[in-house]
Amino acid sequence: MNEIKAKCQIRYDPDGEKKAQANHNKPRVGFTHNCYTTGLGRLFQETVKGGLEMAIGKAWPMLLRYRCNGDKDKFREGKKNPDAVFIYDDPMFDLLNKTLKDTARGYLTDSEAKRKQEIVTQAIDMIIMLAFEDIYYRPLLKLEIENVIKAFIKHPELLEWDENEERVDAVFNGFEGYANERKKRHIAFMNSVRERAKQ
């Protein structure tokens, strides 16, 4: 299994990191730099990703404390069950919150699922709360969502999964059974997007 994962995750570049650097903005199957053996690869895997995780880990508890109105008991409970705190009466924010978190939890199912789900859901809390609490960012968020929807309705082909993405999904996130179900849902979604694009 580890060998399969390695093949999906890492592409050996015989010409070294200089060539990989030139490919940064191009489509790729795995990481541009081997994340275990090269300097830039380890910088990305350990320092960049680790730094982002650390930043989220420091900022999110402060956001939780704010969301709990300074109530220490609610804060303690909120750390155990954040979903009980980050709830929204506003239908749009409620839909966005549930959709993003359900998607993350449904996709992140590998051996590090608990840690990855925590990082991603905390990042979601931070983005949604910024727009929810700050009226300046609320219309911006709605405009961004509107424009993203319009853009992908116009170019649905950009949401298609290629063979490599399907293989990586199958290897890292549930193997054949669940991956096949996800693929069926994705195909149904793409068909609906294409129908909308015709209107």
Q: pLDDT tens digits for 110-141?
A: 888 899 999 999 999 999 999 999 989 999 99
Q: Which of 138, 62, 126 is nearest to 97 (CA)?
A: 126
Q: Is 10 helix (H, G, I), strand (E, B) or coil?
A: strand
Whether 5 is in a domain gets the answer no
Whether 47 is in a domain gets the answer no
Whether 14 is in a domain gets the answer no
Overall domain count for the chain? 1
Pick 165 or 98 by higher pLDDT. 98
Whether 191 is in a domain gets the answer yes
pLDDT band for position 152 (cuts 50, 70, 90): confident
User: In terms of residue numbers, what domain contains 170?
Assistant: 155-199
Whether 88 is in a domain gets the answer no
Q: Which of 142, 160, 138 is nearest to 150 (CA)?
A: 142
